[in-house]
Structure 1
Amino acid sequence: MKFLFSAVVGAVALLVAQPAAAQFVMTRTTPGAAYYHKAGASLEDHDTQLAQCVADAQRTAQPASGGNALVLINPALGIAGVGYDLRRNRAGRRVNIENCMVANRWTIMSLSEAEAAPLLPLLRERDSLRMALARMVGAERPIGTMTRWFTNDAMNGASDRFSGAEFVEGVSLSLEGGMTASRGLISWPPIPDLPRPSLDALPLDPLRPRDIRVTDDSALVFIRMTGDIRFSADILVFERLGPDASTPAWIDQRSNLFAPSLNDRTVERGRPRVGVYAYRLPPGRWRLTGMARTDMAWSFCQGTMAFDARAGEALYLGSFDLSGRMMPDMTMRDDIVPAGRIPGGLRPVEYTAEARFPCTGVYIYSVDPTAS
């Protein structure tokens, strides 16, 4: 215990000394002794949210080298399989518990040496630790220093989002005290027995310029992306919502996924890369499901942005700077449509908030369309 205490104190000291940008490291756990806090929350609120996050984190996996990012985001597609790195999974799932709690607007409070001293011995006395947490998790004036909070950081190109999870740092008092109490509180509905998807249900390819036109049975959408793929995401993934949370939209045998990529053969190589894409979508509600780079896939399963597409419409989804602030720029520019083939009636789409959905991928988080 003395060794553990010394390690925790040292990690807290390092954390406090780091610049504010360190909060954007989203692929490792918080060093030192820490707990989750939301003003006014009860211990029951804490345990329920923690249970959801533990369950969601269990659905994620760290990929072996050469995995397929789209399979990690949507494994039901039936594309070539992907290998998992079992050694990293424990660390990755701990990271995702933190990401999930922050995405649901809980803050991470880190404790100083003096603040941690009376609490660390309680790791062996779970009931006493829970009594302490009951006073801490919803306090108006919480003990400790707030070291992480939600800032739409998954959409910040400066964030560290694509490193593999190597090991678990720090001690989460919330997890140590709440794991048993929260176990079994949350479960996703069972996956229904589904038919095999047809070829028409596979992910959509970008349209060739000569095929860009509005049709009566689909929505025509355009999207522009830029980014330096050495550091940024190179794929965005949009998914059509199904009739309920456990049933995919492709049950109607029409595609439910499109994923514009800066590695597409139509994109000129350079730094940064710039890609413009057109797709013909089945009508419905489409959400930004995630982003990826090679085999590192993020799922925005804790809440995201979505738009409604109606048959016969032409919609502009915005320009996404994958190396900067990734929230879409909706300015109607001259270069937002492949080959300048701008259809009549093209208008910018309106994004609205969309609720959480079953998690997949390597890392999980949320996107707030109302945040800057």
Structure 2
Amino acid sequence: MHLIGRLLSLALLLPALPAMAQTGTASPGFNYFHRAGATLEVHEADIRFCEGEARKTVAQYVEAGHYDKPRPGLFNTALLNAVQLQFDRNQVQANIETCMLIRGWSVVRPPAADEQSLLGAHQASLVSYLSARVGAATPQGAEIRRYDPTLAIVYTMPGYASKPQESLSYRAVFGTEPPVFALPKAAEWPEEWQFLNRVKAPAALGPATTLLIVRTHGTRPGQQINLRFMRIEERASDSPALQVFQASSPTKMFWKAGTPMQDIYVFEVPPGRWLLLGDTISTFCLGAPGFEVKAGEAVFAGTFSSEVVGDLQPKMAVEPAAAALPPALAGRLRAAEWRNGYAFDCGSPPATLLRAFEVTGATSK
């Protein structure tokens, strides 16, 4: 996602870094990842996997490794290219950390004396230090972050620190020299993907039309959520491989705070498995909730509210949505049966932040 777009999207959402939530920043300190019983080999394999997924989130307009080349548009300056490179480096580190947390690791900060001595140590020394710590029965240091799927997502900027926020674990795997990032271009949306538009006249739909309905709600002007849904299935001969649509919470100019607004989205969809793909800047590629839609059904995905930043839990009562739909369609409505734990390629579609999200109370796939 373009730097300027990220700034505009996130400028109002900068709370202090919580210890246990998913955020857009790496934890402060020269930290390592810990999981009781893990080996150095497993630690390295997970770091390399997460680094590969995290690199897919870098700026789409940057040619692979060429941050020194001019860019099109108004902000065509060497300085902005340098800032973008630093942002991307820190974004990669933040996404590596999120990925490791979701894979069961916690972030541990070594004791102060150890941390200072390790900052300038060679790679072999870092590996030696971690050999007795990454899989220890208890963390040796201060555990400062772990994954908790019940917490709301918090949106913070990856940051512009002059030195990349590299962890001890990262340096132990990839070396102690600051990396010369030849960051790859993020994957574009596949050409065969089909973007679905909402149905403008639900009353005209036939009784056997396969439908997916989303209700959004809000009472806070200026605070909007944008949710993306995706069908992920085997390729079908009569339709594109994937279909995507977006549902946004309501907003309008001169909206008075406290005045409730709602929007009902009706989409005609192919049957199959539908996932909550992500929000405005995030992809839930590391673990997304989803549900099945069978041919001829009208499935209600839930009510999503913009009341609490980062709280995307759907409310599954169908009555509020049914009351706003034509009677024939309202009578067909059934609540989606969510299941957690669907993963997909983090580079397609591209996004800024890697996430996982779980619907509370849903079973795992």
Q: TM-score range by the shorter chain?
A: 0.7 to 0.9
Question: Match of 1:202?
Answer: 194
User: Contact between 2:94 and 2:158, CA under 8 Å: does it hold in 1?
Assistant: no
Q: Distance in 2 between matches of 1:171 and 1:255?
A: 36
Q: Deviations over 1:284-341 (max 9, x none)?
A: 111111100xxxx201111110111111111111112234331111123334564454
Question: Match of 1:55?
Answer: 52
| Cα gap change, 1:121 to 1:151, in 2 (>3 Å) | same
Q: Distance in 2 between matches of 1:321 and 1:39?
A: 38
Counterpart selection for 1:364 from 320, 329, 354 = 354
Number of positions where the alignment pairs a residue of Structure 1 with one of Structure 2: 307
Ranges in structure 2 where 5+ consecutive residues have no aligned partner: 1-14, 62-75, 177-186
Deviation, structure 1 residue 171: 4.7
1:251-270 alignment, distance < 5 Å: 252-253=239-240, 256-262=243-249, 269=255
Deviation, structure 1 residue 118: 4.7
Deviation, structure 1 residue 356: 1.8
Counterpart selection for 1:280 from 242, 258, 268 = 268
User: Contact between 2:301 and 2:314, CA under 8 Å: does it hold in 1?
Assistant: yes
Deviation, structure 1 residue 224: 1.4
Secondary structure of 1:99 counterpart: helix
User: Contact between 1:214 and 1:314, CA under 8 Å: does it hold in 2?
Assistant: no
Deviation, structure 1 residue 223: 1.2
Deviation, structure 1 residue 368: 2.5
Question: Match of 1:93?
Answer: 92
Q: Deviations over 1:193-247 (max 9, x none)?
A: x8x54xxx5311222244464554x52121112344645x52101111132xxx7
Q: Distance in 2 between matches of 1:172 and 1:317?
A: 39
Identical pairs, percent: 25
Ranges in structure 1 where 5+ consecutive residues have no aligned partner: 1-17, 65-82, 182-190
Task: Specify the code of the residue in structure 2 equivalent to 1:334.
Answer: P
Within the alignment, does 1:106 sit opposite 2:88 as a pair?
Answer: no
Q: Distance in 1 between matches of 2:269 and 2:338?
A: 16
Q: TM-score, normalised by structure 2?
A: 0.72
Of 168-177 and 330-339, the range deviating more from structure 2: 330-339
Task: Specify the code of the residue in structure 1 equivalent to 2:358.
Answer: D
Question: Match of 2:287?
Answer: 303
Task: Specify the code of the residue in structure 1 equivalent to 2:269.
Answer: L
Secondary structure of 1:316 counterpart: strand
Question: Match of 1:9?
Answer: none
1:203-218 alignment, distance < 5 Å: 203-211=195-203, 213=205, 215-216=207-208, 218=209
| Cα gap change, 1:281 to 1:25, in 2 (>3 Å) | closer
Q: Distance in 2 between matches of 1:92 and 1:54?
A: 11
| Cα gap change, 1:298 to 1:261, in 2 (>3 Å) | same
Question: Match of 2:342?
Answer: 355
Task: Specify the code of the residue in structure 1 equivalent to 2:330.
Answer: P
Q: Distance in 2 between matches of 1:87 and 1:132?
A: 28
